[in-house]
A and B are shown apart, each in its own frame.
Chain A
């Protein structure tokens, strides 16, 4: 029988475009120490570790064994889980299954990236098939640009609609002391920022950051003793719907997110996303903040721009999205999706300080990556 599992501790580094003050292992160590302090445990209490990042960003092979001095994995089970942008949620889910399996009681999930040591686009380009896909969908931005233009054409959404998402997330980041980009921007700033690939401009997309995140998962029975308000994992679901960028139907919804959320909602007993008090969504660019919230069922197809403009996703709105500032404000790739889970847990545990949404009972976190893949994790203050 699968055991119930909760998040009991969270740690994250100060995220910056460059952290020359630490090496990779020290960066990981910073997050791990903070996570352990957060739940008042020591590394001795941890039974196993899951770690994830992208091999080619730091060019380190076997990060699981390389990292042990930073992660605390010495004489412990440690494994590496990596799935591209979704790495962080994949790591969180792996930690969840470690505990749910009954084999381990307290497990540390770590996501990290030191993008300043990489040629991010140079590395990402190689994810596409070398013969069929690489010349057309090279790097992260071109396929997103295809999605954005298709969405604009279909529903008449504008660049200004998208800019509103970037402005919202960057405004929220001002309340998050860990966020990388903490400077407010206006719609005009976004519209006037350099065009990267139409209709995506510099301020529509995420930065690349150095940073790490660590999250402690614990089994039912222990979780309640460790944390006054543990964040229970209600469900998690993954869909890697596509393998080829050429197969993605950019004209329709983000199928992977639609399907993963459908499964996760059903498993957690969520009938309508209105039930969520907060959402930490992996929105790597502003247009996703219009379209993907439709796929999650926040509003109907084509209603994203209006839903955002009416303030429904603002801090005071119906369903606050990305109180942390989201991916557009911080993007240490292997940690990015884990930060979504961590920030959702922070909201449930009531530790959000200036970015806290009042009285959060149910929280939604998502991950995005690979070939338009999606992960969905649902957390709750109530033990399932």
Chain B
């Protein structure tokens, strides 16, 4: 399955995201989608007429509607266009969007939405688990994550305090991001003292329930010329899924992430990610995920993820700032969150990240996950240079 190929040049030329909030009472799904669709077009300088196909991202469980894509087709500008829908994180929707540009279309609009406020997240994430053997145990995203965090701590001696530092860093970064939901001044002690939700995970180790939407436009070289933004080139993309049952997995070893990162790096010609990538936006649904995913991405050896923050590598002034936006810990609109990581990477590469801008960014990594405890990972390498 190793392939040597020259990928055509494709780029992200437009981005938009809503402010992420606990509850967007004043907007329906399609109003949120309309807002980001319109603003992504404005950002790119393209009109709907330049867009020849649309990918929406939604989930019937989250929306409480069968064929959840039906509610947003029109708002996403899908009328009279080739439109389709990916159910999963926005990074996967964008992956399909990119393949459609490589496969003959000229420009794909990818738009994701979700309203955590209108569903019961415990029930919705419980539905990821095996209906016969596991669901009745009450397992959900948080209790499964607790199993993973425990395995990780047990294996390498990484501690709750190490995880708390991630929460402090990312919520502090969120103060520079006007789209973030939870900009917070925290101390390690605050996180440690917060309510224990599922041992060892405490309230401030968890991402919030959020409402929001995001959109990006992916274009081929012809359409890149028509856009007014600085194109951010897609150099490497890959995703991979591992075993389903938690008991079949080594939860402290994210092997599907390792595989996806390896393939994305290869495609992008990256030999040493730690030297070549300038900023990372990763899917930290829980604080422990940041160090674990950094290990999977090859930024450090297994078990060393906790040291990245102590060595000040991942802080805003570090060598590889991780989640300058505040990450998923500071806003977690499910499905949208991965697309937001891509958007944040694009803004960093354009030099338009405002107060959260990292200096001298040439290559960025964006990341999304699907399934329990990061069963499936999607890795994007984006670049200023063609």
Contacts and interface: CB of A to CB of B under 8 A. Distances in A.
Interface stretch (A157-165, A168-176, A235-243, A320-328): A235-243
Contact of B69 (A1, A74, A83, A96): A83
Most buried by A among B61, B74, B87, B131: B87
A371 interface: yes
Interface stretch (A64-72, A279-287, A305-313, A338-346): A64-72
Given A61-B124, A79-B86, A127-B66, A97 B243 contact: no
A2 B10 CA distance: 13
Interface in A228-262: 237-241, 243, 259
A82 B79 CA distance: 18
Interface in B107-133: 124-125, 127-128, 130-132
A78 B244 CA distance: 12
A59 interface: yes
Interface string A36-65: 000000001001000000111011111111
A237 B372 contact: no
Interface string B35-71: 0000000000000000000000001110011110111
A59 B131 contact: yes
Interface stretch (A98-106, A177-185, A358-366): A98-106
B300 interface: no
A101 B125 contact: no
Interface residues of A, number: 63
Best-surrounded residue of B70, B86, B100 (most CB of chain A within 10 A)? B70
B86 A68 contact: no
B207 interface: no
Given A64-B371, A65-B370, A66-B128, A80 B87 contact: yes
Contacts, number: 188
A77 B240 contact: yes
B80 interface: yes
A223 to B, nearest CB: 16
B103 interface: yes
Interface in B62-98: 64-67, 69-75, 78-80, 82-88, 92, 95-96, 98
Contacts of A83: 67, 69, 84-85
B170 interface: no
A274 interface: no
Contact of A74 (B132, B242, B372): B242
Nearest to B73: A240
7 contacts: A55-B61, A64-B371, A65-B241, A98-B99, A102-B103, A103-B102, A259-B80
Interface of A: 1-3, 23, 44, 47, 54-56, 58-69, 73-84, 90, 93-94, 96-105, 123-127, 129-130, 237-241, 243, 259, 369-371
Interface of B: 1, 3, 5, 7-8, 30, 59-61, 64-67, 69-75, 78-80, 82-88, 92, 95-96, 98-100, 102-104, 124-125, 127-128, 130-132, 237-244, 255-256, 259-260, 370-372, 375-376
List of 10 A-B pairs having minimum Cβ-Cβ separation, nearest first: A65-B371, A100-B103, A101-B102, A55-B60, A84-B67, A61-B127, A2-B104, A101-B99, A243-B74, A97-B103
